[in-house]
Structures are given as C-alpha cells and as structure tokens.
C-alpha cells in the first residue's frame, strides 16, 4: 500500500504561496454566515448576459483603451475571491511563478506574502535569503515598494514588482510590531529553497534538530536523509522546527508526520456538507525509533505545519511547544486549463486525528513558550563579592580561572550577533532542547532500529 494518499484528484496544496491570503479568515467567516442565494437556470443565463453587457460597455465607453484580457481575468479573480481568501484565478504568468516556487528555486527576495486590507503582509521569510537577512519577520506589513504605495495593487502585481533580475535592488517600506515605518533596501538573489536542514543541538550535541522551512517536492527525501544521518549520531531525541513555515504540499506534510509515527491517523479531509473525502494513515515503522519528539510552532506555522503538529499531538507521539499556530485549515485544489492558466479553489477542510478542525483555531501547544529574550541580570562574578573589594586578598590557586572569567565577562558585552549566537539566544529552541532531554530521561530508549 502506498504510504501517502492523495486527497482529491489533481494537485492539492495546503497553502498557496502567492495565493495564500491567510489573514482574510475573518472576512471569509462573515461571508459564510450570509444566506445562500440559489438561482434558476434562467436567472443564471440572465446574469451571464448582463456580465457580457457590462464587458461590452466597459470596452466601448471607458475613457482609455481597455486591456480586454486584463479585465476578464479580474472578473474571474473577483468571482473566486468572493468564495474565500484562498480561491483564485492564475493566469499564465502566475502559473509560471507558482511552478518556480514549488520547484524550490526562483528569483526574488525570499519572502512568502499575502494581501491584507490594502497592504501586503508577510507570512514568513524563507531561511537564508535577502528577506531573512534584512530582519523581515512574519506579520510585518509592506506598505510601499520603491516608494510607491501597494494599495490598489493585486497580490500578483505586488509580487511581480518584488521579483527581478538577481543583483538588482529594491526598497521596501515595512511596518513591524506597531513601530514607525522604516524603509530597507534589499538585493534580489536566486532563491534556492532547501526545505530541510538539520544539525545536532545541546551541550553534548545529543539532540537532533530538524528545521523544515516549507513543505515542497523534495521535503520527504530531505527529511529521510536528515533522520538517517542523526540516528547514526545516536541522538536522544528530535526537535521538528516548523516555526514560520506557511505550508506547502499536503503529501509532504503527511510524509513528515508518518516518518515519526508507527501507526494511526494523520489527517482527514471533509468536503461540502461535512462529507469525509479521505483519511491518511501512517504506516508501521518509526524512523526515529520512538525517541522523544518536540514540534516547535508559532503563529507563523500554518497549514501543512499544523497537520504535522496535530498528528504528533493527537497520536501522543510527542510534545508541541511554542505558541498557537495560525489556523489555516482548508485544502485547495488546482484545476489547470489547456491554455496554461488554472484556478485554485477550496475543496475541503482538514481535521486532526481526534476530529479537531484547525480552521481559524490553530493548534494549541501542549507547552506554551512565547518568543522571548533572556536578559542576563548578573555576571558570573557578581559586583558584590569579597573579590571585588579594594585590597582583598587573592586566591592564589584561582589566578588562571579569574583571568578566564574576566575574558568571559567581556564576551558578554553586546555586539554584532553571529548565526550561532542568535541560535544560542533562541529562547523557544533552548526550551525545546531541555524538553527533549527531560523526556529522554523519563523514557527508556527502545532497542529496535526499525524505520520507514
């Protein structure tokens, strides 16, 4: 039996990258509460005739020459946008952009964005890209591109403006955390997305750390390689970091969860009227050999990330830590047309193994650990100590230690932070490392080496 099931025909995505308007859930909920109007065939035909009349009037009477393709595409986009924030029309250019992103290599800034009330909101920066290095964070608002307001632009138009030849620069005006707007200059680059990266963490390098930045075509293979390499290092447990991961392919999410499960349900989808469409189940064989697992999430963990967190949580396979996830629980299907265009349309909602619906609720972590900064309130050598008194006798046996201590205290002064220092100060990650080691001490290691 195949390890992974496709939930509906064609390609299903749990997030739509450019077409992912995650921040429109409130508007969508309001629309869903409105009564449904049903028309007869005659009434539908009359409305379509009216649409044709509007098109002809616009083409014949507008003060400037009309781009007919543009207004027809806008009409189709408007039709789908009226359904929910995630349904959209993709013209040929949009389809090429989408293929570039899902293939794992494309040009630009390395940023996942969505439309939100007339501006562009950041879903998440992609690791090791110009956007991430510039300090752009999930939830930031982009108000201007090269000095021009983004209000009035469609999401696709804004994305096209941010794309460009590698090596060229672009100015973005950012509002971050309610602070005053700031303008930053970024240099475009070829973005090569490596879905999975891994390393060992902890004082003894005995915790396997797996960072999944998105769920793409190569995620499953990269994850398997990561677990295989970490198992050879005899790690005591695993951290699966899906913070600020906006999602991707549903198949990849199912495969990631399956790698850490020895059985049980992973996710189910339900279509119109609550009708169950399919259930994905894990195969026997836990690649991590039942070692402790902590899934690290935050408000930028959406969609496919929530499937993984929900499956691990409901199967009691590990601990979910961090902050409540975003709550994007709908499934989009891509329906292509012969001319190279397509539509993305929401076809189902997904549910965790225990039957929880994620839409607009998210995954509540087992252990809430908010993103924090730890401030050192005292030095290793406190200023109020015998050794600080003028004329105090020196401990002769500790002269070398004192010199080393003074050097260590000097190192605590603030300065530019390296990648290693940023990781060291990652409060959520450090608490996850503590949790893995604590669970390891409480759970005897399993002898078997069975894997998927």
Residues noted as catalytic? 303, 314, 328
Nearest to 250 by CA among 100, 143, 102, 393: 102
Distance CA 110, CA 122 (A): 11
Instruction: Work out the burial of residue 442: count CB atoms within 10 Å of its CB; fewer than 13 is exposed, 13-18 middle, 19 or more buried.
Output: exposed
The residue count of the chain comes to: 452
Task: Tell me which residue of 409, 404, 407, 403 sits closest to 380, measured CA to CA.
Answer: 409
CA distance linking residue 259 with residue 291, whole number of Å: 12
- The crossing angle, in degrees rounded to 10, of helices 155-162 and 92-103 is 60
Q: What angle do CA 354, 355, 357 make, to 5 degrees?
A: 125
Is residue 391 helix, strand or coil?
Answer: coil
**Cβ atoms of residues 88 and 80 within 8 Å:** yes
Cα–Cα distances (Å) from 233 to 208, 290, 362, 438, 443, in that order, read: 9, 16, 34, 19, 19
To the nearest 5 percent, what fractions of the chain are helix, strand and coil?
35, 25, 40
- Indicate the DSSP class of residue 115: E
Q: What is the largest CA-CA distance in the chain?
A: 101
Is residue 4 within 8 A of residue 258, CB to CB? The reply is yes
Residues 354, 138, 239, CA angle at the centre, nearest 5°? 50
From 398, 333, 350, select the one nearest 83 (Cα to Cα). 333
Q: Where are the alpha helices (DSSP H) in 238-339?
A: 250-259, 304-314
Beta strands in 19-117 (DSSP E): 88-90, 105-108, 111-116
């Amino acid at each position: 039996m195949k390890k992974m099931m496709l939930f509906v025909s064609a390609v299903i995505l749990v997030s739509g990258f450019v077409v992912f308007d995650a921040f429109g859930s409130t508007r969508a909920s309001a629309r869903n509460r409105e009564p449904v109007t049903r028309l007869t065939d005659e009434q539908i035909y009359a409305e379509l005739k009216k649409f044709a009349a509007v098109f002809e009037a616009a083409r014949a009477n507008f003060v400037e020459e009309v781009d007919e393709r543009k207004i027809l595409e806008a009409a189709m986009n408007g039709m789908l946008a009226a359904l929910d924030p995630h349904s959209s029309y993709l013209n040929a250019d949009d389809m090429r952009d989408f293929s570039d992103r899902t293939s794992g290599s494309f040009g630009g800034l390395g940023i996942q964005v969505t439309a939100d009330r007339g501006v562009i909101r950041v879903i998440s920066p992609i690791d090791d890209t110009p956007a991430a290095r510039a300090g752009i964070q999930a939830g930031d608002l982009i108000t201007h591109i090269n000095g021009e307001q983004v209000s009035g632009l469609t999401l696709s138009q804004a994305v096209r403006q941010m794309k460009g030849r590698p090596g060229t620069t672009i100015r973005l005006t950012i509002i971050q955390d309610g602070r005053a707007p700031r303008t930053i200059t970024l240099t475009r680059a070829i973005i090569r997305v490596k879905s999975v990266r891994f390393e060992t963490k902890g004082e003894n390098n005995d915790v396997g750390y797996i960072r999944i930045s998105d769920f793409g075509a190569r995620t499953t293979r990269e994850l398997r390689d990561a677990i295989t390499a970490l198992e050879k290092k005899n790690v005591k447990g695993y951290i699966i970091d899906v913070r600020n991961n906006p999602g991707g392919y549903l198949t990849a999410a199912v495969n990631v969860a399956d790698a850490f499960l020895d059985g049980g349900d992973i996710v189910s989808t339900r279509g119109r009227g609550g009708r169950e469409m399919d259930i994905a189940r894990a195969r026997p064989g836990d690649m991590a050999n039942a070692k402790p697992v902590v899934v690290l999430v935050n408000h930028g963990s959406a969609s496919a990330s929530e499937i993984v967190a929900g499956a691990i949580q409901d199967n009691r396979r590990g601990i979910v830590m961090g902050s409540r996830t975003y709550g994007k629980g709908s499934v989009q299907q891509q329906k292509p047309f012969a001319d190279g265009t397509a539509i993305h349309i929401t076809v189902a909602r997904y549910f965790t193994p225990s039957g929880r619906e994620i839409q607009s609720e998210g995954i509540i972590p087992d252990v809430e650990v908010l993103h924090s900064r730890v401030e050192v309130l005292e030095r290793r050598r406190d200023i109020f100590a015998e050794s600080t008194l003028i004329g105090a006798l020196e401990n002769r046996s500790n002269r070398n230690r004192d010199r080393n201590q003074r050097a260590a205290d000097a190192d605590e002064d603030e300065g530019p932070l390296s990648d290693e220092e940023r990781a060291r100060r990652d409060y959520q990650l450090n608490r996850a490392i503590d949790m893995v080691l604590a669970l390891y001490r409480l759970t005897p290691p399993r002898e078997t080496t069975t894997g998927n």
